[in-house]
Structure formats: structure tokens, C-alpha cells
């Protein structure tokens, strides 16, 4: 059971690693941990979601909590329900962007504050391991609840002066589909071209992970064939998204952070914007150019959300395609992100490839995944080689020169190290990429690129 507790959530293969018995114990322990009287539970469309959600609810009620069951929903809508309903906590049964045979739990306390590996999950793990596997004698009450109308109303209020736009949306057979239809009904000047909108936990068309090039090929072709203004791809639980420009080209997720930051700073001059340290240098430069406060963060939603709570930042963005909003309770929300990009397009009245032009000023490798055996030797070798650089260890190792930089860090979700490198020019990028990889392989001959 120990392996299912990850840095940000609980995840495992169903039923070999995560099953109903374990789900019941997690539900009971979650209520004990939070000392919760009222919680809300949602689930995505995965084939095991209903059974696992039911077991979790049994466990939570056995511990004495009243449970509001919102049924199939998105993770952002579940966050909204926690905040709107003033619950003591909530859980989303989902494995997000992962294949259908995997499932899990995203857990929050009040105000949708997440449990994570450094706050809450270790204690929950201890309680699960110590607790009884069966249903106890608690007397919690069960009811169903529906927050969809209120949620769509909240999203619709964030649409500003919409212009006629043609948008292709690929929901990946995840939970974004029903919400997108409802939202577009509220904004008739937007022309929706839907793809794979019906929730289906067998994922009949492609895995619902917009970071994968293979998952956006159909969308890219459709954007071009329809002469659309924008393509949007969602992950399974609709808390992440990726974008395709009008030419059918993928847009790097960090540049979306820069684009939305510029839009927010036009409405909130001087505001704080959080960006993860893997982002292009163009992002903090754009924030500073628009008189914002660029706040650099470690990778991971718990760190970004904490900085936003501490500083009052209005927005935060991550290279993973998670985007966070103060006005949505400091939660990540993919539909809200789509709205902000469309707001920007309506305001600028130019193709998104043109709007992104000033941000596409550097050459990046993208994220390179590495299987390694000796990370300490690798870090030591890189620090020795680049001892004249500006370095920091906010998250792994960041090495900066005037014309290029890189970050190497251990993944929080997989047994990998991740390398991001950027340079002023493509030739220098390629040269330094091979140089850094060469140092890594020399320090650890077992190191191998995984993507």
C-alpha cells in the first residue's frame, strides 16, 4: 500500500494496488485526520471510479462524517463545491491524465487546500496503515448534491467582451466535455467544434494527456482543416489543458503562463504572478515588462498555491499545464484557463500565434526525462563543470549563464530526473543540450533518456 501515496495525491493500478477495501480505509482515515463533520465527494468517468467512490463514502460515513455526493464531475468543479458549500474537505476520485487502468484520490481540506506529501498525506498514510479495514459504527448521513449550474455561472461571469471565435475542443473523453457544452451555451458568439466530448473511461480515441504530442495530433489537424482560431485539449479530470494555435502548432505551456499574465496585469497592475522555475526566461521578463511581480516557485501545485496564499498573487502557471487563480479560490482550473486565453484573443483581436510572438524569443529543449542511477554524482559533476555560473537549489539544480540556462530536478510523480534547457539561439541550445547530457552520462553511465 505504501507505493500508492505520491507527492500530491494517492494513485495506483486498480485493483492490484488500489481497491475498495483500501478506499474504505482511506475514507475513514481522511475524516479522522480532518476531524471533518461534512465532506463532498466527486468522481471522474473511469470504469472503477463509482466502486471506489462508494467505498470511500462508506468509510467516511463510518467515521461519522456527513457526505455530499456530486457524482461525475471535474476536479475544478469539486474544488468549487468544497469552497461554495463550505465543506470541511473533499475528495476527487481520479487519476487525472493517466491511463484508464489507474485510479486514485485527490484530497483537500477546507477551502480546497490540498493534502500533499509535505502536508497531510504522510499522516493520512499512517492512519490508513493503522486503521481497521471494515466499516465502523459511525452515523454519518448521505445525500446527493449538484453544483454544476452555480459552477458554470461562475465561469461565465469571467468572460469579458467576447468576439466571434471558432474553437476546436478535444475533451479526450474526460470530464471537460459536459462542462464545455454548458459554458458555450452561455457564450453564443463562440463557435464550438467538439471532439471526443462524451466521458468514457475506456478512452477510445487517445489518452487524455495534453502534454503528449500523440494525444493532440487529431486536434492539430482539425484546427487547420476547420480554419479555427484556437484548439484546446483537456486532461481526464479537466484541471489541465493544452493549446494549439491557428496554424496547428502546439503552444508551450509556459508561454500560456506569459500570455495570461499579460492579460491579468492589464486588469491588475502591479499584481504578483507565480511561475515555476522550469519556465522560459520570457515569462518573468514579460511579467516585469507589464509591471507585475514575478514570483519564482518550485515545481508542484502545493508550492505554487502556498506562494499565492502568502503573497496574494492573482495567477500562477506551471509547465505541466496547471494554471492557478486567486479568484477561483487559489485552485487550478482548465476551463477558466481556456476562458482567459479567449479573453486575450478577444481583447487583442489578433491570431494567437501573433500574440505569442514576443514570448517565442528563446529556444528550448522541452522537458527531457532521464532514468538515472546516481543523482548525487550527477549533481556534483554538473556543479563542478559549471562552477562559474549562477546556481541555486530551489528545486534540484538550476544553472544560469547569460545566453543559456538549465534546470535538472527529480520528478515528484515518477522515478525520473527531468532536464529543461533553454538558450538564446537554437544552435547554442543543441550544443549545450549535448554537453549537459554528456556530463550526466559520464557521471552516471546508466543514465538514459526516456523520451
Q: Tell me: do 383 and 293 sit in the same domain.
A: no
User: What pLDDT, on a 0 to 100 scale, did the predictor assign at position 134?
Assistant: 47
Q: 280 near 317, Cβ under 8 Å?
A: no
Q: What is the pLDDT of residues 266-285, one digit of tens each?
A: 999 999 999 999 999 999 99
Q: Tell me: do 36 and 135 sit in the same domain.
A: yes
Q: Can you give the pTM of this predicted structure?
A: 0.95
Distance between CA atoms of 362 and 280, rounded to whole angstroms?
A: 8
Q: What is the pLDDT of residues 325-357, one digit of tens each?
A: 999 999 999 999 999 999 999 998 899 999 999
Q: Tell me: do 140 and 38 sit in the same domain.
A: yes
The widest CA-to-CA distance across the chain, in whole angstroms, is: 67
User: What pLDDT, on a 0 to 100 scale, did the predictor assign at position 116?
Assistant: 86
Whether 153 is in a domain gets the answer no
Q: Tell me: do 271 and 188 sit in the same domain.
A: no
Encode burial over 360-393: b for 16+ CB neighbours within 10 A, e otherwise: eebbbbebbebebeebeebbebbeebbeebeeee
Q: 294 near 283, Cβ under 8 Å?
A: yes
Q: Tell me: do 311 and 347 sit in the same domain.
A: yes
Q: Tell me: do 143 and 6 sit in the same domain.
A: yes
Q: How many domains does the chain have?
A: 4
Q: 218 near 301, Cβ under 8 Å?
A: no
User: What pLDDT, on a 0 to 100 scale, did the predictor assign at position 4?
Assistant: 94
Whether 156 is in a domain gets the answer no
Q: Tell me: do 119 and 58 sit in the same domain.
A: yes
* Domain at 203, CATH number: 3.40.120.10
User: What pLDDT, on a 0 to 100 scale, did the predictor assign at position 378?
Assistant: 96
Whether 157 is in a domain gets the answer no
Distances from the Cα of 236 to the Cα of 51, 199, 217, 233, angstroms: 18, 9, 17, 10
Q: What is the DSSP letter of 115?
A: P
DSSP SS3 for 270: coil
Whether 46 is in a domain gets the answer yes
232, 248, 264 - which closes a domain: 248
Which residue of the set 96, 279, 302, 375 is catalytic? 96
Contacts of 270 (CB under 8 A, 6+ apart): 291, 292, 293
Whether 385 is in a domain gets the answer yes
Q: Tell me: do 122 and 211 sit in the same domain.
A: no
Q: Tell me: do 17 and 139 sit in the same domain.
A: yes
Whether 140 is in a domain gets the answer yes
Whether 152 is in a domain gets the answer no
Distance between CA atoms of 393 and 406, rounded to whole angstroms?
A: 12
364 classed as catalytic:
no
Retrieve residue 359's grid coordinates: 514570448
Q: What is the pLDDT of residues 123-159, one digit of tens each?
A: 999 999 997 544 455 789 999 999 999 999 999 999 9
Q: Tens-of-pLDDT digits for all 451 residues of the chain?
A: 668 998 889 999 999 999 999 999 999 999 999 999 999 999 999 999 999 999 999 999 999 999 999 999 999 999 999 999 999 999 999 999 999 999 999 999 999 999 988 889 999 999 999 975 444 557 899 999 999 999 999 999 999 999 999 999 999 999 999 999 999 999 999 999 999 999 999 999 999 999 999 999 999 999 999 999 999 999 999 999 999 999 999 999 999 999 999 999 999 999 999 999 999 999 999 999 999 999 999 998 889 999 999 999 999 999 999 999 999 999 999 999 999 999 999 998 899 999 999 999 999 999 999 999 999 999 999 999 999 999 999 999 999 999 999 999 998 777 789 999 999 999 999 999 999 999 999 999 999 998 7
Q: Tell me: do 352 and 377 sit in the same domain.
A: no
Angle, helices 75-84/334-348, rounded to nearest 10 degrees: 100
Q: What is the pLDDT of residues 58-85, one digit of tens each?
A: 999 999 999 999 999 999 999 999 999 9
User: What pLDDT, on a 0 to 100 scale, did the predictor assign at position 133?
Assistant: 46
311, 327, 359 - which closes a domain: 359
User: What pLDDT, on a 0 to 100 scale, did the predictor assign at position 392?
Assistant: 97
Amino acid at each position: 500500500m505504501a507505493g500508492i501515496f505520491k507527492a500530491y495525491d494517492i494513485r495506483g493500478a486498480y485493483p492490484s494496488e488500489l481497491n475498495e477495501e483500501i478506499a474504505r480505509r482511506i475514507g475513514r482515515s481522511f475524516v479522522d485526520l480532518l476531524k471533518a463533520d461534512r465532506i463532498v465527494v466527486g468522481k471522474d468517468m473511469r470504469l472503477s471510479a463509482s466502486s471506489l467512490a462508494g467505498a470511500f463514502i462508506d468509510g467516511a460515513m463510518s467515521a461519522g462524517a456527513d457526505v455530499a455526493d456530486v457524482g461525475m464531475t471535474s476536479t475544478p468543479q469539486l474544488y468549487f463545491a468544497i469552497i461554495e458549500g463550505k465543506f470541511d474537505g473533499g475528495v476527487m476520485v481520479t487519476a487525472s491524465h493517466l491511463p484508464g487502468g489507474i485510479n486514485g484520490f485527490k484530497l483537500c481540506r477546507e477551502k480546497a487546500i490540498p493534502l500533499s506529501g509535505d502536508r497531510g498525506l504522510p499522516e493520512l498514510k499512517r492512519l490508513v496503515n493503522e486503521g481497521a479495514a471494515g466499516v465502523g459504527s459511525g452515523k454519518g448521513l448521505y445525500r446527493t448534491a449538484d453544483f454544476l449550474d452555480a459552477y458554470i455561472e461562475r465561469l461565465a461571469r469571467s468572460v469579458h467582451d467576447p468576439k466571434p471565435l471558432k474553437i476546436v475542443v478535444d475533451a479526450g473523453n474526460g470530464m471537460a466535455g459536459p462542462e464545455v457544452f454548458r459554458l458555450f451555451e452561455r457564450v453564443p458568439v463562440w463557435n464550438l467544434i467538439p471532439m471526443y466530448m462524451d466521458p468514457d473511461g475506456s478512452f477510445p480515441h487517445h489518452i487524455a494527456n495534453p502534454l503528449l504530442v500523440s494525444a493532440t495530433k487529431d486536434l492539430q489537424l482539425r484546427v487547420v482543416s476547420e480554419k479555427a482560431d484556437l484548439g484546446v485539449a483537456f486532461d481526464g479530470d479537466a484541471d489541465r489543458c493544452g493549446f494549439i494555435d491557428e496554424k496547428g502548432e502546439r503552444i508551450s505551456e509556459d508561454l500560456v503562463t506569459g500570455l495570461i499574465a499579460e492579460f491579468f496585469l492589464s486588469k491588475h497592475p502591479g499584481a504578483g504572478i507565480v511561475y515555476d522555475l522550469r519556465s522560459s526566461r520570457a515569462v518573468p521578463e514579460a511579467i516585469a515588462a507589464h509591471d507585475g511581480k514575478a514570483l519564482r516557485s518550485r515545481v508542484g501545485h502545493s508550492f505554487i498555491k502556498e506562494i499565492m496564499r502568502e503573497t496574494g498573487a492573482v495567477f500562477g502557471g506551471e509547465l505541466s499545464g496547471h494554471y492557478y487563480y486567486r479568484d477561483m479560490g487559489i485552485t487550478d482550473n482548465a476551463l477558466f484557463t481556456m476562458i482567459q486565453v479567449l479573453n486575450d484573443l478577444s481583447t487583442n483581436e489578433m491570431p494567437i500565434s501573433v500574440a505569442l510572438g514576443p514570448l517565442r524569443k528563446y529556444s528550448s529543449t522541452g522537458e527531457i526525462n532521464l532514468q538515472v542511477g546516481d543523482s548525487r554524482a550527477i549533481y556534483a559533476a554538473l556543479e563542478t563543470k559549471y562552477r562559474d555560473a549562477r546556481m541555486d537549489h530551489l528545486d534540484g539544480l538550476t544553472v544560469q549563464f547569460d545566453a543559456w540556462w538549465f534546470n535538472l530536478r527529480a520528478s515528484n510523480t515518477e522515478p525520473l530526473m527531468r532536464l529543461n534547457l533553454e538558450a538564446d539561439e537554437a544552435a547554442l541550445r543543441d550544443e549545450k543540450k549535448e554537453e549537459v547530457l554528456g556530463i550526466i552520462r559520464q557521471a552516471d553511465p546508466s543514465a538514459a533518456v526516456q523520451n
